[in-house]
């Protein structure tokens, strides 16, 4: 029962929980059942004919249209094979033909409307449940189906959210209750903590009813961070909570704290030498007391990155750290009261020194336990910036190497040298920072309360160890460029030979999952999977070993993916070369089973027959021979007539991006047999084979030498080119006819329009027209005698310039627009010749005269005479033409 929904209606409950109605859920189930039947994804209804598929080529829909049979009884309308057909036929083809990942590969997803940040995951394999802490909600999901079994809505009150907003926090991303901690407290309860709108709260969940007691919330300060974006880690050990977080609103007080349980709280000292702006990423509990010869105590390890204090002040250096405390530490009596007396920290090295590449920012950790605590390994994912390239790495650390560093020398700050150096003086006894062992008990130090002050004072001032923890093998397991690793989980798998192999699952910042296996020769990357449709960080990973599934938490959803998909290996060689420890090749195909995969190929590549493809080309062409590789780790090896191509041919280029061999400017000597062999770890697999024939005579028909399956394509090309030629010919004839018609129209139009080149007239000078500045009458400004020659012909005025006194050219006006013709004064001619649209020019040009009909004298004789003279007149020289002559 979900509290808070008792008074809401059915629709309000569905909207609050983000669920669909029963009708929609039944429709979805019908479509899924129909899909499973039609696409043979399940054998549940094998042998039963439920649907009739329409014949191919007779449908306009999705290609899988079903035939709806007639029925007489109304009750049959509700049958599955009847009610499913109409919605199915409306589905688009991409939906029907798509092979659902959920059905084919076993991937399942969960999300709820209005809920985000599915990042806190806790697995309960025995109960078959996955507990998910999200933003203001806690879910219990079935591992097998990923469906919600129970849910708790834990929202921050509105008044708390208002206070959070008033303090300057975001009401979109911060002022909510983000569930940051969710772990089993005992057999009947779980303990959970949330940010609660920057006022963290914690509480207990009753597993019997899956309900949260809202009246017994506990203060979450020191147990849970205020800020949902701050690094945080915690774990419960024997009903005691060990947490590493920030202890105030501003996030400036880092603390590693133990509370709950019968003992009083103990925490770190508030000193920069203890914790200096840390970013916590992980924690681990190691039972080192089991089988210990010295009666050692159990320990809790914390992993984080912080700003280092041991370097120069002008260097803002961030380093990765591992810190350790003893489970039985209860603080000191006078010194370090209620403070850790066993707190020690050391640097984690993960680098490639020869390339000056150091991975200092740790992002996530995973603890791989063995049969004995001495076999415990810590795996960490690191990020670094190498120039302008993002680089990530995975480093492995052995528990014995960590223990050796914590038992080594200390580092201290020298006032004389003004820097951090190794402590070389006599150490106090008992050793500072050590757990209570049989030696301490023999010397009357039963608890940390009995330790002397000189030991505690030294431990307070010397929490940092001098040596750093080296990675296993003194180098990273895996380094990858252009990637940002975020989380990882590791599983130890035993092969048929009894040897253990460690399989790594690594999440990235853009939503990719990398699967790799650690071998004696290095880490082998098996596959890379994109688990999200849109790029988003993988924020949590949880592995279920019994179920062989992996759970991935992100901001938008929780995804369940299988640890392996053996069905993608189509051949025996692919299965073996993949080195997937979950897959083995049998005579029936690849199967999911742990197996030792370092075995010989069952089928030799030399025994496989490949049919060569016939290629015919002309001399001088460039030939491209594709060779698709089935593995990113493989290389293409080309041979020509049985010999290495690189040694026998010089004019060849292999393009790794196109995965093809390019033969430039082929000659007769390039005729022969080309073979592409896929080379991967000394294993050769035949991929492609080409029989190339080079022709020297261009007149020789290629169709006679080409394979029969290419003749159809050649004929299609010939017919298409012929059709194009016919169309172009028709277009040419059409344009020629239209051009002829336009010319005929132009010869008729010249009767009413005259266009000819002009220059300054060479006839005798005529009286110059000078406009009067005192007369208001236009009739006085025009003198017909000044505009006609003595023979009665009309004078042609070049341009629109008006002659000024002195014969000088008028200067442009100040309001002229650059690049535009200057405005001409409007002249009123007695015969109404329109000159307003004439282009201004100071040189020879063309003037189009529109002879109007209004008040025009009868100049038909004059026009005929003008045409006659133009035919006899020589073309005038044009010293500076603006346009071509007509």
Instruction: At 399, give phi and psi (nearest 5°).
Output: -60, -35
Mean pLDDT of 191-215: 93
**Percent of the chain as helix, strand, coil, to the nearest 5:** 20, 30, 50
Output the CA torsion 559→561→567→570 (10° steps): 80
Mean pLDDT of 247-271: 93
Q: Which has more confidence, 90 or 718?
A: 718
Among candidate residues 686, 719, 722, the one with its CA nearest the CA of residue 613: 686
Fold of the domain spanning 610-695: Immunoglobulin-like (2.60.40)
Reading phi first (left if > 0) and then psi (alpha if -120 to 50, else beta), residue 832 is in left
501 pLDDT more than 70:
yes
pLDDT of 340 reads 97
**What is the DSSP track for 813-861?**
PTTPPTTSPPPPPPP--TT----TTPPP-SS--B--B----TT----HH
pLDDT of 841 reads 36
701 pLDDT more than 70:
no
pLDDT tens-place string over residues 741-794: 877 766 554 444 333 343 444 444 444 444 444 444 444 444 555 555 555 555
pLDDT of 655 reads 78
Q: Average pLDDT of the chain?
A: 77
Confidence of residue 208 (pLDDT cuts 50, 70, 90): very high
pLDDT of 69 reads 62
Confidence of residue 325 (pLDDT cuts 50, 70, 90): very high
Q: Which has more confidence, 822 or 281?
A: 281
CATH class for the region spanning 285-352+372-479: mainly beta
Q: Which has more confidence, 748 or 7?
A: 7
Output the CA torsion 141→146→148→154 (10° steps): 50
Burial class of residue 578 in the structure, from the number of CB atoms within 10 Å of its CB (0-12 exposed, 13-18 middle, 19+ buried): buried
Mean pLDDT of 103-108: 65
Tokens matching residue 334: 């006078």
432 pLDDT more than 60:
yes
Confidence of residue 39 (pLDDT cuts 50, 70, 90): low
* DSSP classification of residue 251: S
Query: What are the residue ranges of CATH 2.130.10.10 in the chain?
Result: 285-352+372-479
Confidence of residue 190 (pLDDT cuts 50, 70, 90): very high
Residues sharing a CB contact under 8 Å with residue 421, sequence separation 6 or more, in sequence order = 411, 412, 413, 414
Residues sharing a CB contact under 8 Å with residue 498, sequence separation 6 or more, in sequence order = none
48 pLDDT more than 60:
no
pLDDT of 45 reads 41
Share of the chain above pLDDT 70, in %: 68
Weakest-pLDDT range from 74-78, 93-97, 474-478, 745-749? 93-97
What is the C-alpha separation between 602 and 589, in angstroms, rounded? 12
What is the C-alpha separation between 531 and 547, in angstroms, rounded? 19
Confidence of residue 322 (pLDDT cuts 50, 70, 90): very high
Mean pLDDT of 21-30: 74
Residue 149, SS3?
strand
Per the CB < 8 A criterion, the answer to whether 192 and 212 are in contact is: yes
For residue 771, the Cα-to-chain-centroid distance in whole angstroms is: 79
What is the C-alpha separation between 247 and 226, in angstroms, rounded? 8
800 pLDDT more than 80:
no
Mean pLDDT of 706-731: 76
Q: Which has more confidence, 97 or 309?
A: 309
Classify each residue of 447-466 as buried b or exposed e, where b means 16 or more C-beta atoms within 10 Å of its C-beta.
ebeebeeebbebbbebbbbb
pLDDT of 439 reads 95
Residue 27, SS3?
helix
Model-level pTM? 0.65
Mean pLDDT of 520-533: 87
Tokens matching residue 400: 């014995």
- Cα dist from 170 to 122, 165, 249, whole Å: 28, 6, 14
Q: Which has more confidence, 777 or 460?
A: 460
Per the CB < 8 A criterion, the answer to whether 255 and 247 are in contact is: yes
Mean pLDDT of 244-258: 95
Among candidate residues 260, 228, 227, the one with its CA nearest the CA of residue 243: 260
Share of the chain above pLDDT 90, in %: 44
3-state DSSP of 302-330:
EEEEEECCCCCCCCCCEEEEEEEEECCCC
464 pLDDT more than 90:
yes
Mean pLDDT of 363-387: 94
Confidence of residue 75 (pLDDT cuts 50, 70, 90): low
- Cα dist from 336 to 248, 269, 366, 868, whole Å: 21, 8, 31, 125
pLDDT of 653 reads 83
Cα 333–336–337 angle (5° rounding)?
Answer: 50
Tokens matching residue 531: 């688990």
Confidence of residue 448 (pLDDT cuts 50, 70, 90): very high
**What is the DSSP track for 50-103?**
---BPPTTS-SSSS-PBP----SSGGGGGSHHHHTHHHHHTS-HHHHSS--HHH
- Cα dist from 706 to 442, 519, 664, 712, whole Å: 94, 49, 21, 11
Paired with 384 in beta bridges are: 391
Confidence of residue 584 (pLDDT cuts 50, 70, 90): confident
806 pLDDT more than 60:
no
328 pLDDT more than 80:
yes
Query: Token pair 């409306």 is at which residue?
Result: 90
Residue 601's CB: how many other CB atoms inside 10 A?
16
pLDDT of 665 reads 85
175 pLDDT more than 90:
yes
Confidence of residue 607 (pLDDT cuts 50, 70, 90): very low
What is the C-alpha separation between 533 and 510, in angstroms, rounded? 10
Mean pLDDT of 645-662: 74
Most confident of 62-76, 387-401, 776-790: 387-401
Pairing of strands 683-695, 613-618: parallel
* DSSP classification of residue 134: E
pLDDT of 119 reads 95
Query: What are the residue ranges of CATH 2.60.40.10 in the chain?
Result: 610-695
Among candidate residues 618, 770, 640, the one with its CA nearest the CA of residue 696: 618
For residue 651, the Cα-to-chain-centroid distance in whole angstroms is: 39
pLDDT of 599 reads 33
pLDDT tens-place string over residues 541-571: 999 999 999 999 999 999 999 998 887 777 7
Tokens matching residue 692: 């190339």
Confidence of residue 405 (pLDDT cuts 50, 70, 90): very high
For residue 94, the Cα-to-chain-centroid distance in whole angstroms is: 23
Per the CB < 8 A criterion, the answer to whether 551 and 541 are in contact is: yes
pLDDT of 31 reads 67
101 pLDDT more than 80:
no
């Amino acid at each position: 029962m979900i509290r808070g929904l008792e008074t809401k209606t059915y629709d309000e409950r569905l909207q609050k929980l983000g669920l669909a109605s029963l009708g929609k859920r039944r429709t979805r189930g019908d479509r899924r059942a129909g899909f499973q039947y039609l696409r043979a994804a399940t054998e549940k209804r094998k042998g039963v004919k439920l649907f009739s598929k329409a014949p191919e080529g007779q449908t306009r829909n999705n290609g899988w249209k079903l035939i709806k049979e007639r029925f007489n009884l109304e009750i049959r309308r509700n049958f599955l094979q009847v009610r499913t057909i109409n919605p199915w036929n409306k589905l688009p083809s991409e939906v029907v033909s798509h092979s659902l990942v959920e059905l084919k590969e076993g991937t399942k997803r969960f999300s709820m409307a209005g809920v985000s940040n599915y990042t806190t995951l806790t697995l309960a394999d025995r109960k078959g449940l996955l507990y998910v802490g999200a933003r203001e909600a806690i879910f219990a999901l079935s591992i097998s189906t990923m469906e919600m079994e129970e849910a708790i809505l834990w929202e921050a009150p509105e008044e708390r959210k208002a206070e959070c907003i008033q303090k300057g926090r975001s009401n979109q991303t911060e002022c909510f209750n983000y569930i940051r901690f969710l772990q089993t407290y005992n057999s009947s309860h779980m303990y959970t903590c949330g940010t609660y709108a920057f006022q963290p709260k914690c509480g207990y969940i009753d597993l019997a009813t899956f309900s949260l007691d809202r009246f017994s919330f506990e203060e979450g300060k020191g147990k849970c961070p205020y800020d949902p974006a701050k690094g945080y880690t915690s774990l419960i050990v024997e009903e005691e909570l060990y947490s590493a977080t920030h202890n105030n609103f501003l996030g400036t007080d880092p603390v590693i704290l133990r509370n709950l349980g019968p003992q009083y709280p103990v925490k770190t000292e508030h000193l920069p030498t203890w914790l200096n702006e840390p970013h916590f990423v992980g924690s681990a509990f190691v039972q080192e007391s089991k089988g210990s010869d010295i009666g050692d105590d159990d320990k809790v390890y914390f992993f984080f990155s912080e700003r280092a204090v041991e370097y120069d002040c002008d260097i803002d250096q961030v380093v990765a750290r591992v810190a350790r405390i003893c489970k039985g530490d209860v603080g000191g009596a006078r010194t370090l009261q209620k403070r850790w007396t066993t707190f020690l920290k050391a640097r984690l090295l993960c680098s490639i020194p020869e390339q000056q590449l150091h991975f200092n920012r740790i992002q996530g950790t995973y603890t791989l336990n063995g049969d004995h605590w001495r076999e415990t390994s810590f795996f960490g994912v690191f990020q670094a910036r190498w120039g302008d390239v993002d680089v990530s790495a995975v480093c492995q650390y052995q528990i014995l190497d960590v223990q050796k560093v914590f038992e080594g020398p200390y580092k201290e700050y020298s006032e004389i040298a003004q820097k951090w150096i190794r402590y070389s003086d006599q150490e106090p006894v008992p050793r500072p920072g050590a757990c209570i062992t049989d030696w301490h008990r023999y010397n009357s130090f039963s608890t940390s309360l009995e330790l002397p002050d000189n030991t505690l004072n030294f431990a307070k001032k010397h929490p940092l160890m001098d040596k750093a923890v080296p990675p296993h093998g003194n180098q990273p397991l895996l380094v990858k460029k252009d990637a940002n690793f975020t989380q990882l989980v590791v599983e130890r798998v035993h092969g048929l030979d009894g040897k253990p192999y460690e399989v790594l699952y690594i999440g990235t910042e853009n939503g990719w999952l990398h699967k790799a296996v650690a071998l004696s020769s290095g880490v082998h990357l098996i596959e890379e999977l994109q688990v999200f449709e849109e790029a988003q960080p993988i924020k949590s990973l949880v592995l279920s070993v019994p179920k062989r599934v992996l759970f991935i938490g992100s901001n938008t959803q929780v995804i369940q993916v299988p640890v392996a998909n053996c069905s993608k290996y189509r051949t025996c060689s692919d299965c073996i070369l993949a080195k997937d420890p979950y897959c083995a090749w049998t005579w029936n195909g690849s199967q999911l089973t742990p197996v030792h995969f370092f075995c010989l190929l069952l089928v030799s590549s030399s025994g496989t027959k490949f049919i060569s493809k016939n290629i015919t080309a002309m001399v001088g062409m460039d030939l491209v021979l594709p060779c698709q590789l089935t593995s990113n780790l493989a290389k293409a090896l080309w041979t020509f007539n049985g010999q290495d191509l690189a040694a026998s041919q010089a004019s060849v280029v292999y393009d790794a991006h196109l995965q093809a061999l390019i033969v430039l400017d082929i000659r007769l000597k390039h005729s022969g047999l080309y073979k592409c062999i896929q080379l991967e770890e000394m294993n050769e697999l035949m991929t492609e084979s080409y029989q190339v024939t080079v022709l020297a005579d261009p007149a020789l028909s290629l169709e006679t030498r080409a394979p029969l399956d290419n003749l159809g394509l050649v004929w299609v090309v010939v017919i298409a080119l012929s059709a194009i030629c016919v169309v172009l010919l028709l277009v040419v004839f059409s344009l020629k006819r239209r051009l002829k018609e336009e010319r005929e129209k132009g010869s008729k139009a010249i009767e009413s329009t005259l266009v000819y080149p002009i220059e300054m007239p060479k006839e005798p000078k005529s009286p110059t027209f000078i406009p009067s500045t005192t007369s208001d009458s236009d009739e006085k400004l025009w003198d017909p005698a000044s505009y006609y020659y003595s023979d009665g012909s009309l004078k042609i005025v070049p341009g629109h310039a008006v002659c000024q006194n002195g014969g000088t050219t008028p200067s442009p006006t100040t309001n002229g627009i650059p690049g535009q013709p200057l405005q001409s004064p409007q002249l009123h001619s007695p015969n109404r010749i329109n000159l307003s649209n004439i282009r201004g020019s100071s040189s020879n040009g063309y003037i189009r005269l529109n002879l109007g009909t209004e008040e025009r004298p009868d100049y038909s004789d004059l026009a005929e005479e003008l045409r006659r003279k133009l035919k006899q007149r020589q073309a005038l020289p044009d010293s500076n033409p603006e346009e071509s002559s007509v």
